[in-house]
Structure 1
Amino acid sequence: MDIIFKGIKTPKNSYIYDRGRNAILAVSDSEYEELEQLQKGLVKEEDSKVLKKYQNEGFLCPNTVTKIEHPCSGVLGHYLRNHVEKLTLQVTQRCNLRCEYCIYSGNYDNRKHSNLDMSFETAKKAIDLYLCSSGEMEEYFVSFYGGEPLLNLKLIKQCVEYIKSKTVGKRINFAMTTNATLLNDEAVDYLRNEDFGIMVSLDGSKKEHDRHRKFQNGEGSFDLIQKNLKRIKEKNPDFFSKITYNSVMNPDSDYRSVKTYFETDELLNSAEILTNIVESENPGEKVKLSKDYLKIDKFDQLKLYLLMLKKIDEKDVSKLVLIRARYIIRKYQEIIKKAEIGSKCHHNGPCIPGTRRLFVNVQGKLFPCERVSETSSIMQLGNVEEGFEIEKVRKLLNVGKVTEDLCKNCWALLHCNQCIRNADGKDHLSRKLKMLYCPDTKRQAYFILKEICALRELGCTFERI
C-alpha cells in the first residue's frame, strides 16, 4: 500500500497520524480498525469507505515522496557565504581535568586530549572566514571551546580584540563552556567586562560531580568549582546570575541527589540547568539509566503535563524538565499546519552543516559543530585556508540519501531527528550505522505524537511556557 500513516491509541480515543499532511486525525474506533486492516492488506483500498471519506477531505492520499533531498540543497552556497550563525573556536586541546565520559577521554573513538593550542594566525583566519560568511546575520556569536578554554585565555583575549577591530555596527556575543576550575578573579573580571555568556559543566552534588569530573591526580573538582562560584556571586552577582550549567547524567548517577542539589542548593537553586544523558560508546545503543531515575523522571514529566494543563504553577515543576515543554509545543505547532509533504523531502535531523555552529579545531579544520568527531575525514568541511568544500557539505546535508529507500516510506520521516553523527563511518556516510538509530527514533516520534493527542484531549492549549 502506498499510503503512509501510523495508528495512535490513547486510553480515551483513537487517532491516525497522516504523514502526507503531517497531521493527526481523530477517528472513531471502527474507522481506526478499518484503517489498520487496510494497512495490513486485509482490506483493499477501493473497498474502504473510511479511506475514501478522508481522501475526499484531502487526507490519507498516496505517498508523493519520490526523492530524499534536503530543502536547502539548492541554496547551500548562499547559506555558506552569507548565513553562518555562530563560530566556535577550539583554542586548546589541553585540559586540567580527566572526566571519564568526556569525548576527549580516550573512551570514544573521536578525539583525545593533547598539548595542542590554536595559534593566533589560525584564529584570525577562522574569524575572517566567519565574518565574511555571516553578512545576513544581525548579530555575531563567537564561542570558545577546549579542552579547557581558560588554559589559553591569552588567545581568547587576542581573538576578542581582533573581532572587535574588524566589526562595525553589529553586536558581538561572546560565550564559553568551562569546567570553572580556572575562574579566578583575573578571568572573571575579563569575562564580565566583555559580557561573556558562560556555561559551566557541573554534574550535581559533590558526590555525583566528583564521581567522574576529576583532576589528573584523581582528586574531585567539586570543591574548587564551588569556591570559585561563591566568590563570583559575592563579588559579581549580576555576572553570576547569567551563568548557565550543564549536567551530564550517567547510568550510575544518583538522580535524586542531582535533582535535589540543583533545586535546593542555596548557590544554584535559581540557576538555569541543562541536562544531558551521556552517550553510549556503542552506536545505536541507549545508555540504561537506573530505575530510580526513570521513576523520578516520570513523576517530573507528570507535573510538567499538569503545568501545561494549567493545573499547577511553574514553581512546582522541576526546572530539569521544563525544556521538554518547549519541544512538545514546537511539535504541536508543526502538526496543526497540516502542510502537504511534496515530492522532495528530508528528515529533520541535519542542520545545514557549518552554518549553525561552525567549529574550528586547533589545526584550523572546519566541522559542523563541536560534537562531531575530529578524527573523521567525512565530517571535515574544509579548512581556514581554503574555506568550505561545498560538495562535501552538500553530502552531509543530504545524509538521508544513504537510507533513501527506507526514508521515502517511513511514517516517522517528518519527526526523525537523526544527526549526521549517527552515520559517521569515518571516511564515508554509513547506511548500516544510521539504521541502528532508526528504531529509537521511531519510538521517540510515536511518543511525542501520543503526548500531543493526550494533552489535547485534556484541554491543553499548547501556549508557550
Structure 2
Amino acid sequence: MESNNIHLFEFNGKKYAYLNNAYIVIALNDLSYKVFQQHNKYGDLNIDELKSFNFSIDRINKIKEVYNKLKNYGVFDCNYINLDCLNKNSKNPIYNTATIFLTDKCNLKCIYCYEDNNGHTFIDKKVITKTLEFLKENSYDKKININLFGGEPLLSIDLIKFLLNESSRLGINNRVNYSITTNGTIMNNEIFNILKKNNISIALSLDGNKSQQNINRPFKNGRASFEVIDKNIENYFKKLKEKIVVKSTITKNNKNLKDIYNQVEKYDFDVSIINLAITNDENIKLSDLEFEDILRISNLIANDYVYKVINNIKCPAPSFITMWLIQMYPNLRRNSYCGINDNAIAIDTYGNIYACHRFVGMKNMILGNIASNDSLKLNDKREKYLIQNENCENCWCKNICNGGCAHENYIFNNPKDFNFICLLRQKWIEISLGVYAEICNSNPKALINIVGDDIFSNEANRFIALDKI
C-alpha cells in the first residue's frame, strides 16, 4: 500500500516519485520505479526481488547506494518536515488582506453565480472607513492588500474614488496593494486612468472564447457579453496587461480548457486562472466523463506550457500548474490553501465580516461586524471555516494542497463530490510536479520566470534524476 509520503505517478509517459514531506520530485526508470515500489511495500529494498526482474548487479548496487543516501538524509520519514496544514491562529493575528464588496449589484447573470443575482445595495462609506481603519490598526505596518469586489465593483466608481481618498487620508495608501475583480463590461477613460494611476491589479472574469463566454456569462437581459468585453480588452485592458490575470469558471459549457487557454494567449495576458463552478446544479457541474476530458486537456496544456517555457517562448501561466509548482519552495510555500485561516477577511455591503469572500451572504458564517468591537474577537470564531475532507490527513499531497478551498469543501459536502474535487486537485498537482521535473531536467533557468530570480538563486531545486541508473 502506498505511503502518504512517497507518491508514484506518471506524466508525459515518464515515471516519477514525489516525496511529500521533503518536497522532492524524482525522475525514475524501470529499476528506480521498482525500488520506490519496494519502499512503499516493505519500507526497504528487496535485492533478491530486484534480481528476479533481471536487472544487472551493477545497476542494483548503484541504485542501492543512492537509495541508502536518501534514507540516511531522512527524506522518507513522515516527520521530515513538520507542517500544521490548518495553520493555527496566534493570539495576536495580523489582518492585512481584505476583500471589500462595494456592491452586490451586477449587470450580468452568470449561470453559476453563487451570489444573489438581484442585488441592490451599495456599501456605506462609513463601512469603507471602518474597514480601512481596521486594516491600519491590525496590519502592524505590513503591506495591506485590498481587493475590490461585487457584484460588479465598477458599477460604483464613486465609491472606489472615495476608498482611494480615504486610504490617503489615513496615511496607508503607500502600503496598499489594490486589486479589483471585474467582468470587464464597464470601461471608459475615467476608469482606465484610475486603474492605471493607482496601479490596481485586475482579475478579469472571462470564460473563454465567444461561444463559451456568451453561454456562461450573458447580460441580465440575455444579451451576449463577449463582444463588449472583447472591445474593452482591445481598447483598454491590453494597455494594462502586465497587471491582469484572467479568471475562468468551468462548467459543462466551457469544459474545453484549451479553448480558454488559447483565448488568454490570443490577448497576450500572462496568467490564466481556472476554477470549477461551485454548484450542485447537475445542468452545470461536470460529469465523470467530462472530468476525464478535463484531465486529458489539462495534459495537453501542460505539454504546451513545458515546451514554451523551456524554449523561452512567452505564454500564459496556467494556475492549475503554477499555483502548486511554487509550493516546492519554502519561501513561496503557503501553510494554508489561502489566507482564510490566517490574515484575510471579507466585508459585505453591510459591514459583516467573513473569513472568505465566497461565503458572503451565508449568515451562519458571519464572524462579526466591522462597526462593532466584536470584530476584534473574530479570530476566535474562525474554526467554522476549517472545513476539510476526512481523507486529508492521510493524503499524499496534503502538504501542497493544505486541505483545499474551504468553500469548495463546504459546497461539495457529500462523499461523491468530495472525491471528485479531491481527485481533480490531486491530478492537477501530479501534472504540476511533472511540469516542474521536465523544466528542471531540460532548462532549470526557465524557472526564474515562474518563481522569481531571488528564489531561484537562493534555493536549491527540488528535483533528482534517477532515470539514468
Where on the TM-score scale, by shorter chain, does this alignment land: which range?
Answer: 0.7 to 0.9
TM-score w.r.t. the length of structure 1 is 0.72
1:3–1:62 CA contact under 8 A, matched in 2: no
The offset of 1:281, in angstroms, is 1.9
Q: Deviations over 1:122-173 (max 9, x none)?
A: 2222222122111231x43323211112333333332222222111583434
Out of 312, 326, 337, which is 1:330 matched to?
326
- Alpha-carbon distance in structure 2 between the residues aligned to 1:123 and 1:11: 50
Alignment of 1:353 with 2:341, yes or no, is yes
Out of 81, 84, 103, which is 1:92 matched to?
103
Q: Letter of the 2:362 partner, please give it.
A: T
> Could you tell me which residue of structure 1 aligns to residue 204 of structure 2?
200
- Alpha-carbon distance in structure 2 between the residues aligned to 1:218 and 1:457: 50
Alignment of 1:389 with 2:378, yes or no, is yes
Q: Deviations over 1:315-340 (max 9, x none)?
A: 4xx42x455664465244459x9x9x
Out of 55, 68, 74, which is 1:59 matched to?
74
- Matched residue of 1:17: which SS? strand
Residue range with higher mean Cα deviation, 383-392 or 275-284: 275-284
Alignment of 1:116 with 2:121, yes or no, is yes
- Alpha-carbon distance in structure 2 between the residues aligned to 1:38 and 1:195: 52
Out of 424, 442, 447, which is 2:426 matched to?
442
> Could you tell me which residue of structure 2 aligns to residue 374 of structure 1?
361
- Matched residue of 1:78: which SS? coil
The offset of 1:300, in angstroms, is 3.9
Residue range with higher mean Cα deviation, 90-99 or 140-149: 140-149
Alignment of 1:128 with 2:133, yes or no, is yes
2:22–2:81 CA contact under 8 A, matched in 1: no
Are the structure 2 counterparts of residues 458 and 420 from structure 1 closer, same or farther at C-alpha, using a change threshold of 3 Å? same
The offset of 1:433, in angstroms, is 7.1
Summarize the alignment of residues 354-433 of structure 1 with structure 2, pairs less than 5 Å apart: 355-356=343-344, 358-375=345-362, 377=364, 379-384=365-370, 385=372, 386-387=374-375, 388-394=377-383, 396=385, 399=387, 403=390, 406-417=391-402, 418-424=404-410
- Matched residue of 2:221: which SS? coil
Residue range with higher mean Cα deviation, 184-193 or 151-160: 184-193
1:68–1:407 CA contact under 8 A, matched in 2: no
Q: Percent identity?
A: 19
Q: Letter of the 1:59 partner, please give it.
A: G
Are the structure 2 counterparts of residues 441 and 354 from structure 1 closer, same or farther at C-alpha, using a change threshold of 3 Å? same
The offset of 1:11, in angstroms, is 8.3
The answer for unaligned runs of 5 or more in structure 2 is 49-63, 450-469
Are the structure 2 counterparts of residues 215 and 350 from structure 1 closer, same or farther at C-alpha, using a change threshold of 3 Å? closer
- Alpha-carbon distance in structure 2 between the residues aligned to 1:227 and 1:12: 42
Are the structure 2 counterparts of residues 146 and 11 from structure 1 closer, same or farther at C-alpha, using a change threshold of 3 Å? closer
- Matched residue of 2:144: which SS? strand
Are the structure 2 counterparts of residues 197 and 170 from structure 1 closer, same or farther at C-alpha, using a change threshold of 3 Å? same
The offset of 1:366, in angstroms, is 1.5
- Alpha-carbon distance in structure 2 between the residues aligned to 1:294 and 1:195: 36
Higher helix share: 2
1:142–1:173 CA contact under 8 A, matched in 2: yes
- Matched residue of 2:109: which SS? coil
Alignment of 1:103 with 2:114, yes or no, is yes
2:97–2:144 CA contact under 8 A, matched in 1: yes
Q: Deviations over 1:347-368 (max 9, x none)?
A: 7425353614x21011212222
- Matched residue of 1:443: which SS? helix
- Alpha-carbon distance in structure 1 between the residues aligned to 2:80 and 2:359: 30
2:346–2:357 CA contact under 8 A, matched in 1: yes
Out of 143, 156, 167, which is 1:163 matched to?
167
- Alpha-carbon distance in structure 2 between the residues aligned to 1:45 and 1:239: 55
The offset of 1:446, in angstroms, is 3.5
Q: Letter of the 1:152 partner, please give it.
A: S
Q: Deviations over 1:443-465 (max 9, x none)?
A: 33444334444554556455222
Are the structure 2 counterparts of residues 129 and 48 from structure 1 closer, same or farther at C-alpha, using a change threshold of 3 Å? farther
Are the structure 2 counterparts of residues 283 and 136 from structure 1 closer, same or farther at C-alpha, using a change threshold of 3 Å? farther
> Could you tell me which residue of structure 2 aligns to residue 282 of structure 1?
280
The offset of 1:204, in angstroms, is 4.4
1:283–1:433 CA contact under 8 A, matched in 2: no
Q: Letter of the 1:391 partner, please give it.
A: D
Are the structure 2 counterparts of residues 244 and 295 from structure 1 closer, same or farther at C-alpha, using a change threshold of 3 Å? same
Summarize the alignment of residues 210-221 of structure 1 with structure 2, pairs less than 5 Å apart: 210-221=214-225
The offset of 1:60, in angstroms, is 6.0
2:110–2:218 CA contact under 8 A, matched in 1: yes
Are the structure 2 counterparts of residues 246 and 215 from structure 1 closer, same or farther at C-alpha, using a change threshold of 3 Å? same
- Alpha-carbon distance in structure 1 between the residues aligned to 2:229 and 2:271: 16
The answer for unaligned runs of 5 or more in structure 1 is 105-110, 340-345
Are the structure 2 counterparts of residues 382 and 434 from structure 1 closer, same or farther at C-alpha, using a change threshold of 3 Å? farther
2:104–2:349 CA contact under 8 A, matched in 1: yes
The offset of 1:222, in angstroms, is 3.2
TM-score w.r.t. the length of structure 2 is 0.72
> Could you tell me which residue of structure 2 aligns to residue 17 of structure 1?
18
Q: Deviations over 1:162-187 (max 9, x none)?
A: 22211158343433222333324444
